[in-house]
Structure 1
Amino acid sequence: MFKKTLYVQIRENRVHVRNIDDARTVERRASPGFSHPRMLIGDFTAAQACLKHALAEARGAGFAWTTAVVIHPLENIEGGLSQVEERVFRELAVGAGASKVVVWVGAGLGDAEVIARLKGR
């Protein structure tokens, strides 16, 4: 398969990734932690390393030209995300290997909803 679709949920010092294509899930706890009391991502480098490993494991073996990711922060989002926070999540996913990224704030998403968000619906 040449395209992988992943749904990433981020909590304090934890990343949960679901591969929409084969229902594989990966949960990683960051060590060292990446969260800060005021921000979900306080240490970008630690967060990117944790996410990179989780995405690689969730993608599985094989070749993929593109990896589309919906990234969903679940904590420290009262009042929505600022432009800076949204950019942090987008660049976090791109740096971890995503070729297309949608940042989502709202209720949890099912597989069909993840695909719809990536298509812009």
Structure 2
Amino acid sequence: MRQTRSQTIMFRNPFKNTLYIKVHPNRFDLKHIESGKSLSAVSPTPFTTSRLLVGQFLAAHETLKAAIKSLYAGQLFAPSPVAVIHPLEKCEDGLSEVEERALHELAAGAGARKVVVWVGHALSDSEVLAKLST
């Protein structure tokens, strides 16, 4: 039996949980790829310093963790997400190993089971999924 597009949409995997996290100075923009739901979270305590996008790790961690929790508010069960985290500033010459590790740990510490750090152009939903499938 052949499935039509509408049938395929009805049977989407409820356990798919992909996040695209854009990091701005003192702010995160999150998008849940499968649902299209998005939100911005401004840190109550600044985490960006004059030299680093994430200079105050704990403040960034608490903000991202709360944002992810807010994104899934009202859901009974939310499996650990996979995430692409994308710094948008202070990375003109690329990231140092320490900066890349900090971003990776930031997303992993907020609950992501797999993290890809991306530096470059803004990604479409399909590009986010492709980055995580490699």
Does TM-score exceed 0.5, indicating one fold? yes
Q: Which residue number in structure 1 is paired with residue 86 of structure 2?
A: 72
Equivalent residue of 2:53, what SS?
coil
Q: Which runs of 5 or more residues in structure 2 are unaligned?
A: 1-13
The percent of aligned pairs where both chains have the same amino acid is 45
Aligned residues: 120
Structural mapping, 1:18-33, within 5 Å? 18-33=31-46
Among residues 105, 112, 116, which one is paired with 1:91 in the alignment?
A: 105
Q: Which has the larger radius of gyration?
A: 2
State how far apart, in whole Å, the 1-side matches of 2:125 and 2:50 are. 31
TM-score (normalised: structure 1): 0.95
SS for the counterpart of 1:2 is coil
- Higher RCO structure (Cα 8 Å, ≥6 apart): 1
1:57 CA drift (Å): 2.0
> Quick one: which amino acid aligns to residue 37 of structure 2?
R
CA distance in 2, matches of 1:110, 1:95: 25
- CA displacement 1:68-119 (0-9 Å, x = unmatched): 0000000000200011000000000010010000000000001000000001
Q: Whose strand proportion is higher, 1 or 2?
A: 1
Tell me how large the CA RMSD over aligned residues is.
1.0
Matched, 1:4 2:4: no
Separation (CA, whole Å) in 2 of partners of 1:92 and 1:39: 14
| 2:51 equivalent to 1:38 | yes
Partner of 2:129: 115
Alignment partner, residue 102 of structure 1 = 116
Q: Distance in 1 between matches of 2:17 and 2:111?
A: 11
Question: Alignment partner of 1:117: what SS?
Answer: helix
Provide the C-alpha distance between the structure 2 equivalents of 1:3 and 1:44, rounded to a whole number of angstroms.
Answer: 28
1:56 to 2:69 alignment: yes
Deviation for aligned residue 1:63: 1.6
Q: Is the 8 A contact 1:19 1:59 kept in 2?
A: no
CA 1:70–1:17: 2 relative to 1, 3 Å:
same
* Aligned residue identity for 1:88: A
